[in-house]
Structure 1
Amino acid sequence: MKWLKRLVLLFAVVVAALAIVPFFVSLDDYRPRIERLLAEKLKEPVKLKNLRLAGLPLPHVIIDGIEIGKADVKVGRIAVTPDLLSLLTDTKIIRSVDITGLVLTQRGLDRIPLWIKTDPKAKPAAFTVRVQTVRLDDALLQLQKASFGPFDARVAIAADGAPERADITARDGKFKVTIKPAGEKFNIDVQAKGWQLPVGPSIVFDELLVKGVATMKEARFGDVKAKLYGGTVAGRSSLAWQDGWQLTGDYTVNDLELRDLVPLFSPETRLTGRLNAKPVFSAKAARPEQIGNAMKLDTPFNIRNGVLHGIDIQKAATSLFTKDSSGQTRFDTLSGHFAMDRGTQRITSLKVASGSLAADGNVTIAPNKALSGRINAQVKAGTVASATVPLNVSGSLDSPYLLPTGASMTGAAVGTTILGPGVGTSVGATIGNWAGSLFGKDDKKK
């Protein structure tokens, strides 16, 4: 048993030495030189707050308070753990690089390709360095208009320097990405639950599953499935960035409740109901943040059992002399075709059906949210036959108006006088519009 006691004693001495050595060995004298070398390489000022050696659990170097550029990149701490025996060979092996508290800004992200670019005129290094594992903890990506994180990441690296696997996980556990190499490509698997989109509209996904393949030039997501706002979305999309940024996609939308979703895209619009649609979209822009303004989208749509707030089509058709931007239109179905091209939105083949009301028409929404178009409203009143009243659309999304055409106004005045308000107004408006069209004096259809 003496050998066991000696072994335990030896182990205790080694542990004590590893714990005490950092108090006597300081690396901080090398800090200015390292800052200067890094600044020359990156062409940016580099600051290191502290540089020291630690002995446990394995000997490693700790760098505290790293800052690159004008706070473009900040790191709380980096711990580098080498394979000590490999330091005596031509291939220096780094067991792990642990990065804690990384904050990467948009400018820093844009400059990474320049920082890692190799100099073809540089002399070959006297030795090679191979890193086995990179770990990120509590990292944050700060874009111009959004942020992603905090998140953790784990990257395993093969002997030839190529990544074997990368896992990125949000610290709240709501989002996870796994990336695995497959030849010249990378397989991407995304899983999310209760996760909010960090860029663009603040859409919340109850569940999101994405499978795709990426290269250094593009990413294709051939299988996208999501559950959100009581419905489902499924489809595919692709993003390329070799010559500018190009985004394309097509999806099938089933049974989405619009009450909380619509305000994320258009705060001025209040619309409820269940949406079915098949959007096809594309965009091409010089920079990723310009994609939204360059978006082209085209889709048929059908909304069931909803309410359009801020406008009362039936009231507008039976009370033509009142300019009103209040009220609401309840409908059983609201369908049509929606197209958007660089900010201009057009709704064509619009049809609204609900009890005594039926309407059809076309509406255009300008980039400044101004409205224009024509809606033909049919209102049933008891046993009286349906009367069609043409209404011009004007105003804006936050204050829409439905106003009659000139001929409709004249006919409505006569009808109201003879038959009274409501039925007389709408019947008279219909006759007036027919007469105006017959003699060519009606307003031009918008």
Structure 2
Amino acid sequence: MSASRRWIIGIAAACVGVLVIALGGLAWWLPSDAQVAARVATEFEQRTGVALRVGAAHWTLRPGLSLELDELATAQKEPITVRRLVLHASLRELLARRIRVDDVEIEGAVFPRASAREFRGRGDGSPAALGAFTMDPVPVGQVRFDDVTWIDRRGIALAYDGRIEFDPGWMPRRAEVSRRGVTPPARLELTREGEGIDRWRTDIEVAGGTWSGTAAVQALPEGNLRLHADLVPRDVDIVGLTSAFGRKTAVEGRINGRTEVMAEGANPIEWWQVLHTRTRFTVRPALLRGFDLARAVSTAGISRGGQTPLDELAGTLDTQGTENGIVLRYTNLKARSGLLTASGSATMLNRKVDGELAVDIVDGVVGVPLKVGGTLDAPELSLTGGALAGAAIGSAVLPGVGTAIGARIGQRMEQLFGDPSPKGAAKKKKRAAP
């Protein structure tokens, strides 16, 4: 399958499938609105295996050919719905059995993730699937959408507005996508750098800052498409960024750095499933909510709640799309403030946190190892089993500094000989049992 055909499947799968079916109904000479609605529903089910309810259909020949479909809904547990879909096409092209539509308008659509995934692998967009029609080099001039909502695996619904203008081969010439009703704006603009050049200027305005650079697509010999983008975030407010997309964060501040985006697959839908990003970031100043590092060190026990102000937080964030959600991996974390310095790493998946930190307090406490656990809503800090045992020994010998030194010794013992705590010993005995 050619790269351009894969772009057809990926970029416009949501509209071209309905477009082909709907325009197929117009092959009947002067059909009634009811006949067109029935034809669309029948063809959709035959091609996808999913029934479609069409509330109403209306088509006109003047001033140009247009077809309007209202109140569309798939027969699924969580139906995909479209309040209004309008197609404006060239009658001459359609009579010649060529699919060429100047404009597609989509209003009030809702796409639950689980329902959209049911269409994976249904039809391949090959010429035979188009019946007697063939694709024009530019089958769709532009797609405009308002209030189109995507519902993710956690039930978070995000609405978007936008417009995409196409060049031959389904390559976007220009695209604008924005989060509906978000202030300050969260908006993406893509502009192709030249005809035949598969590279786009990428400008993102979000959370009072920018995230801009270039994105490129490469057609691979085996037929897949590879996406690569280099973007530079400047003064992006982290709380504003996450809230614009229905998420929460434990870090406050403005991010600067550099982002690399990578993905490979048959189409943009597959890109999203395997999307990998790497951001080297600096936040200056920063505030950690839900974490009180100083209290966790001073108590040598479990600490929940509180906050930690930082002069600077830096590190690398890798994100990876998986079937179970997006995995976030923080590495080379470095934090400093007037009270402490810290280093470490952490992994997050479905809001669960797992990580380790080494905290240095200026007033004589050095290198205390902490375990990060819990969730983003209720994170907790604690010493690991081996480090906790060492801390108790160290406190008996030399309070204060002794606690920290003992913790480091305990951590080292755990790394070399296993967890020396009673809990760790019980685990070791259980593993050794026949």
TM-score by length of 1: 0.58
**2:392, 2:100 → 1: CA distance?**
85
Confirm or deny that 1:347 pairs with 2:353: no
Residue of 335, 339, 351 corresponding to 2:314 = 335
| Contact preservation (8 Å) 2:387, 2:410 | no
Distance 1:197 1:221, change over 3 A: farther
Residue of 171, 175, 181 corresponding to 1:190 = 175
Confirm or deny that 1:430 pairs with 2:405: yes
TM-score by length of 2: 0.60
> Any idea what SS the aligned residue of 2:295 has?
helix
> What's the offset of the Cα at 1:357?
1.2
Partner of 1:4: none
> What's the offset of the Cα at 1:98?
2.6
Confirm or deny that 1:360 pairs with 2:343: yes
**2:161, 2:26 → 1: CA distance?**
38
**1:387, 1:49 → 2: CA distance?**
78
Identical-pair percentage: 20
Partner of 1:374: 356
Partner of 2:64: 96
> Any idea what SS the aligned residue of 2:280 has?
strand
Residue of 229, 235, 253 corresponding to 1:255 = 235
Structure with higher Rg: it is 1
> Any idea what SS the aligned residue of 2:235 has?
strand
> Any idea what SS the aligned residue of 2:175 has?
strand
Q: Report 1:299-314 matches (<5 A).
A: 299-314=279-294
Distance 1:245 1:267, change over 3 A: same
Confirm or deny that 1:77 pairs with 2:31: no
The two structures, once aligned, show a CA RMSD in angstroms of: 4.9
| Contact preservation (8 Å) 1:231, 1:254 | yes
Partner of 1:223: 201
- Segments of 5+ residues of structure 2 without an aligned counterpart are 1-20, 43-50, 75-79, 83-94, 116-135, 148-159, 421-434
Confirm or deny that 1:399 pairs with 2:382: no
> What's the offset of the Cα at 1:162?
6.8
Deviations 1:96-147 (A, max 9, x none): 11333556778999xxxxxxxxxxxxxxxxx858999856566555544499
Q: Report 1:24-423 matches (<5 A).
A: 48-49=33-34, 67-69=40-42, 70-71=51-52, 76-81=57-62, 96-101=64-69, 128=96, 139=107, 143-145=111-113, 166-169=141-144, 177=163, 179=165, 181=167, 188-191=173-176, 195-196=178-179, 205-212=185-192, 220-238=198-216, 243=223, 246-263=226-243, 267=247, 269-285=249-265, 289=269, 291-321=271-301, 323-341=302-320, 342=322, 343-365=326-348, 367=349, 369-381=351-363, 385-406=364-385, 408-413=387-392, 416=395
Partner of 1:117: none
> What's the offset of the Cα at 1:356?
0.8
> What's the offset of the Cα at 1:168?
4.5
Aligned residue identity for 1:222 = W
Aligned residue identity for 1:271 = V
> What's the offset of the Cα at 1:296?
1.9
Task: Tell me how many residue pairs correspond in the alignment.
Answer: 334
Which is further off, 183-192 or 397-406? 183-192
> Any idea what SS the aligned residue of 2:366 has?
strand
Q: Which is richer in helix? A: 2
> What's the offset of the Cα at 1:379?
1.0
**1:283, 1:143 → 2: CA distance?**
23
Partner of 1:56: none
Deviations 1:308-355 (A, max 9, x none): 22222111111113x233222221211111223344432211111111
> Any idea what SS the aligned residue of 2:252 has?
coil
The answer to which structure, 1 or 2, has the higher relative contact order (CA under 8 A, 6+ apart) is 2
| Contact preservation (8 Å) 1:224, 1:235 | yes
Partner of 1:88: none
| Contact preservation (8 Å) 1:275, 1:303 | yes
- Segments of 5+ residues of structure 1 without an aligned counterpart are 1-34, 51-62, 82-94, 110-126, 148-160
